[in-house]
Amino acid sequence: MKRDKAVVVFSGGQDSTTCLFWALERFETVYAVTFSYGQRHSQEVEVAKSIANDVGVEHHVLDMDLLNQLAPNALTRSDIEVTDGGEGELPSTFVPGRNLLFLTFATIFGQQRGAFDIITGVCETDTVGIQIAVMVL
């Protein structure tokens, strides 16, 4: 199996943009996948589109509105106040399982295109209480 294709979970933010450029240095073909899940700052999707276009990467936006139904939070609902969570608490913008779902869908997307490498950059808060192990087959 030739491993020359990769999928980057791409929000257009600092972490995922770093991942995108890392992937571009290592793979012949890179796909960027952005997830639209009703986030309040919809400009995130537009920035991702713009960056992907600027570097000539095939970009796809996948609809994940279901996430908003499962995990209401301040990131997706204007009627929930944005708070930092305080000592030992999660911020009100925390979306449980978001990145796990993104990785699952990015993997399905990649498999359809012959890409077996999925690249993502997440902050520690996104994986609080969850141990994530990555195994390369």
CATH of the domain at 108: 3.40.50.620
Tell me how far apart the alpha carbons of residues 66 and 82 are, in angstroms, rounded to a whole number: 21
**What is the average per-residue pLDDT within 75-84?**
68
135 in any annotated domain: no
What is the number of domains present in the chain? 1
Return the higher-pLDDT residue of 24 and 73.
Answer: 24
Whole-model pTM?
Answer: 0.79
Nearest Cα to Cα of residue 120 among 41, 13, 43, 15:
15
- One-letter amino acid at 133 equals A
134 in any annotated domain: no
6-64 residue pLDDT tens:
999 999 989 899 999 999 999 999 999 999 877 766 788 899 999 999 999 999 999 88
Neighbouring CB atoms inside 10 A of 6's CB total 24
132 in any annotated domain: no
137 in any annotated domain: no
106-125 residue pLDDT tens:
999 999 999 989 999 876 55
Range of the domain at 46: 5-127
Would you state the pLDDT for residue 121? 84
